[in-house]
Amino acid sequence: MVLKYRIGKIIQTDAVVKEIPCEKKLPEGFGADEKKNICIFQKRIGEYDKIYGLGENVRGINKRGWKYKSECLDNPNHREDTVSMYCAHNFFIIDGNVKSGYFLDTPGVVSYDMCYEKSDEIRVEIEGLNVDIYIIDGDSLTEIIKQFREIIGKSYIPPKWALGYQQSRWGYASKNDVREVVRQYREGGIPLDGLYLDIDYMERYKDFTINEESFSNFPEFVEEMKKEKVHLVPIIDAGVKVEEGYALYEEGVEKDYFCKDSEGGYFTAGVWPGYVHFPDFLREEVREWFGSKYQFLLDMGIDGFWNDMNEPAFFYRKQRLDAALPKVQQYIEKNLDGAEFFEMLGELNQLTVNHTDYPYMLHCVEGKVVSHDKVHNIYGYMMTRAAGEMLEKLRPDKRILLFSRSSYIGMHRYGGMWQGDNLSWWSHLLMNIKMMPSLNMCGFLYAGADLGGFGADVTEDLMLRWIAFGIFTPLMRNHATQGTRLQELYQFSKKDVFRKLITIRYSLIPYLYSELVKCAENCEMMFQPIGFQFDEDKRAAEIEDQLFVGESIMIAPVYQQNMYGRYVYLPEDMIMIRMKSSEEIRTYRMEKGDHYIEIPLDEVVFFLRKGKLIPFVRSADTVEELDETNMKLLGWENEAAEYELYQDDGFTMHCDTEGRWITICRNPDGSIISDSDICFQDMTKEVMDYE
Ligand code: GLC
């Protein structure tokens, strides 16, 4: 059951799509402190109760024992003590004797003390005196999550090719750079479906322009890449360069579509192109305007986009820089002592503390002026909504790839997300693993992190382990920043091992695609902590480094350097699947309990759940080229099982359309029946005993 309560009146976020009447009396624990101008939620919880949710955040799947702050932040160097990341996902569940989910719908800042100050108390502070509160009760965690997901609407489903492996790097500066990457992938036989264009494809970082020197004849180039079966995915940044003669800027000024500055004029900040103005995405007409600009690239043959810097992120606000520079000048020709040096640094460092600038940035909401700090957390969401809504209008018959760095719940209907700038650290691989279920709870299914890490130099073994995990994440993109070690998979000595690992991804695409669509349509999680399915099992409840991926698979990734195996806990009998490539598979029957499993760098190990099935196909260079008329099927001996497979042309809308679902039945005798022409080969007889 979902109950809705209201304090004050929020600025509409449109996170919730279902009409729910408001209860009259506030629930226990909630209140408002007018003096402090905050709403508060306070609750004592049991010693071993768990807290789940909060989407994109650091630390464990169980969020207990730390403080978090929903205040979208460009935070590339996030660590264990980070409180804010790129997104604001205000949904959490308290899992104790009674289980309840909470969604705090407010576009402003929310601070969570999850048993940090007091070990048995949750205290949440919501800035301002307005919030919509949704409380969701249910017998199980999955039931609560499903109810929540139903009120926020179905998750975005990308085109099928976007489940393929994709390569990115900030630094592909010309067509020849891109061609070279594609050539190396194709020559090395490493499957590849997408290649990302970072800001260098634009003319001096101006949205919806092309750098005519390095990316001349762009439509032809897109066509050339299509022949290679590679989709180009350009970046779009939130800020619009301030430049006379730049059509987007001039039109924005003419129509008065940019956020204002409380000190006069438009809010002006420095991002990649220098001074920019930020479109006021909270206004519908501005969303329509900016969204319609994607047509420029669609018409050139582009069918995927990533929206960036939309927290919004900026390096300085113009007035602040203007005030700081003369101060810094005073230090010139001075023999700076320590204190003076740090004073000077302080002058510069305070420029990037964006939130102090938010009160100056003004939006227009329902005809009223609202300062940015009150609506900060929905800015990136509204940018991606602008794109999503217009892409659907511009290409009504085709799903377009779209994902964003910043998000709020509600954005999951328009696009996916990546986990922002991370680092080539083993701890960030583990964070990637633990974040997936939390994102899924909040509706974000098409998600993943920069594989290999964005900042810092990756090692070959970290890349191998990250790929081994990335095989299972819907967004599988390798991305890195300039100046770091080159990390395209062909750059490493074990190039052939990487190739083989990627083929495993491709052999699982029919499964991953079916599970993604199922979870989107049924409002379920694709990545689940194993305890969510075995809630009576205390061991399972505390395991955070093994996850279910869809209904049939359990993964147990390796995320530590120099470890060639690990303990895995099986909450039920399972079949261990060991794959070196799409063609090299060994399978073993295993009993419930703890096992030490060897996992060398060139092998991906995962598990088939009791009574379930997994379809496999032979890998190909691209998703489009997969032969899905021939499949192998792995199941359980002497057991009947069923699997629902989803098949479509890879881009049409309305995945709930009947006729796209194929029921595969495997009978105890090994015969396979399906309402399709797919030819199945049963793999079950090859399963060996594990010793
Ligand atoms: C931001 C993005 C990153 C991108 C860079 C340059 O840091 O998060 O992915 O490469 O900007 O555009």
> Token digits for 15?
């996170």
**Cβ neighbours, 10 Å, residue 14:** 16
Residue 74 Cβ contacting ligand 1 at under 6 Å: no
Report the pLDDT value the prediction gives residue 196, as an integer from 0 to 100: 98
pLDDT in tens, 173-184: 999 999 999 999
pLDDT, mean over the chain:
97
pLDDT in tens, 524-536: 999 999 999 998 9
> Ligand 1 test: best mutation among 72, 166, 315, 481, most atoms within 8 Å of CB?
481
Q: Is the pLDDT of residue 365 over 90?
A: yes
| 3-state secondary structure string across 366-377 | CCEEEEHHHCHH
Residue 579 Cβ contacting ligand 1 at under 6 Å: no
Give the side-chain half-sphere CA count within 13 A for 582: 23
Report the pLDDT value the prediction gives residue 635, as an integer from 0 to 100: 97
Q: Is the pLDDT of residue 354 over 90?
A: no
How large is the average pLDDT for residues 510-520? 98
Residue 421 Cβ contacting ligand 1 at under 6 Å: yes
Ligand 1 geometric centre to CA of 308 (Å): 7
Report the pLDDT value the prediction gives residue 15, as an integer from 0 to 100: 98
Residue 271 Cβ contacting ligand 1 at under 6 Å: no
Ligand 1 geometric centre to CA of 558 (Å): 27
pLDDT in tens, 198-217: 999 999 999 999 999 999 99
Ligand 1 geometric centre to CA of 78 (Å): 15
Q: Is the pLDDT of residue 691 over 90?
A: no
How large is the average pLDDT for residues 496-522? 98
How large is the average pLDDT for residues 360-386? 97
> Ligand 1 test: best mutation among 168, 169, 198, most atoms within 8 Å of CB?
198
* Full DSSP string of 30-94: EEEETTTTEEEEEEE--TT-EEEE-SS-SS-SS-TTEEEEE-----TT--TT----S-B--EEEE
Report the pLDDT value the prediction gives residue 90, as an integer from 0 to 100: 98
**Closest C-alpha to ligand 1, atom 5:** 170
pLDDT in tens, 540-593: 999 999 999 999 999 999 999 999 999 999 999 999 999 999 999 999 999 999
How large is the average pLDDT for residues 421-439? 98
Ligand 1 geometric centre to CA of 309 (Å): 7
Please give the number of the atom of ligand 1 that sits closest to the Cα of 405.
8
User: What do you get for the CA distance between the two ends of the chain, in Å?
Assistant: 48
Q: Is the pLDDT of residue 655 over 90?
A: no
Residue 311 Cβ contacting ligand 1 at under 6 Å: no
> Ligand 1 test: best mutation among 73, 168, 170, most atoms within 8 Å of CB?
170
Band (pLDDT 50/70/90 cuts) for residue 658 is: confident
Report the pLDDT value the prediction gives residue 657, as an integer from 0 to 100: 80
**Nearest in space to 123 (alpha carbons), one of 96, 84, 94, 97:** 94
How large is the average pLDDT for residues 448-453? 98
Question: Rounded to whole angstroms, how far apart are CA atoms 650 and 327?
Answer: 58
Ligand 1 geometric centre to CA of 610 (Å): 42
Report the pLDDT value the prediction gives residue 685, as an integer from 0 to 100: 93
Band (pLDDT 50/70/90 cuts) for residue 329 is: very high
Ligand 1 geometric centre to CA of 460 (Å): 23
Question: Rounded to whole angstroms, how far apart are CA atoms 480 and 181?
Answer: 14
Q: Is the pLDDT of residue 437 over 90?
A: yes
**Cβ neighbours, 10 Å, residue 214:** 16
Residue 199 Cβ contacting ligand 1 at under 6 Å: yes
Ligand 1 geometric centre to CA of 528 (Å): 29
How large is the average pLDDT for residues 219-229? 98
Q: Where are the alpha helices (DSSP H) in 127-213?
A: 141-152, 175-187
Band (pLDDT 50/70/90 cuts) for residue 333 is: confident
Residue 198 Cβ contacting ligand 1 at under 6 Å: yes
Please give the number of the atom of ligand 1 that sits closest to the Cα of 237.
12
Residue 238 Cβ contacting ligand 1 at under 6 Å: no
Ligand 1 geometric centre to CA of 454 (Å): 9
Report the pLDDT value the prediction gives residue 656, as an integer from 0 to 100: 80
| Alpha-carbon radius of gyration of the chain | 25
Distances (CA, A) of 63 to 54, 57, 116: 8, 9, 10
Ligand 1 geometric centre to CA of 261 (Å): 26
Residue 417 Cβ contacting ligand 1 at under 6 Å: no
Bridge partner list, 197: 234
Residue 405 Cβ contacting ligand 1 at under 6 Å: yes
Q: Where are the alpha helices (DSSP H) in 522-625?
A: 538-541
Q: Is the pLDDT of residue 452 over 90?
A: yes
DSSP 154: P
The secondary element (H helix, E strand) that includes residue 339 is helix 338-349
Q: Is the pLDDT of residue 373 over 90?
A: yes
Question: Rounded to whole angstroms, how far apart are CA atoms 199 and 201?
Answer: 6
Residue 85 Cβ contacting ligand 1 at under 6 Å: no
By the 10 Å C-beta count (0-12 exposed, 13-18 middle, 19+ buried), 188 is classed as middle
**Closest C-alpha to ligand 1, atom 3:** 421
Ligand 1 geometric centre to CA of 421 (Å): 7
Question: Rounded to whole angstroms, how far apart are CA atoms 284 and 264?
Answer: 23
Percent of the chain with pLDDT over 70: 100
Which range among 412-421, 640-649, 655-664 shows the weakest confidence by mean pLDDT? 655-664
Please give the number of the atom of ligand 1 that sits closest to the Cα of 481.
10
Band (pLDDT 50/70/90 cuts) for residue 233 is: very high
**Nearest in space to 538 (alpha carbons), one of 122, 115, 46, 48:** 48
Report the pLDDT value the prediction gives residue 122, as an integer from 0 to 100: 98
User: What 3-state DSSP class applies to 532?
Assistant: helix
**Closest C-alpha to ligand 1, atom 7:** 421
Ligand 1 geometric centre to CA of 91 (Å): 27
Please give the number of the atom of ligand 1 that sits closest to the Cα of 170.
10
Q: Is the pLDDT of residue 224 over 90?
A: yes
Ligand 1 geometric centre to CA of 420 (Å): 8
> Ligand 1 test: best mutation among 168, 241, 454, most atoms within 8 Å of CB?
454
Residue 436 Cβ contacting ligand 1 at under 6 Å: no
Strand 416-418 to 401-404 pairing: parallel
pLDDT in tens, 79-94: 999 999 999 999 999 9
Residue 170 Cβ contacting ligand 1 at under 6 Å: yes
How large is the average pLDDT for residues 154-168? 98
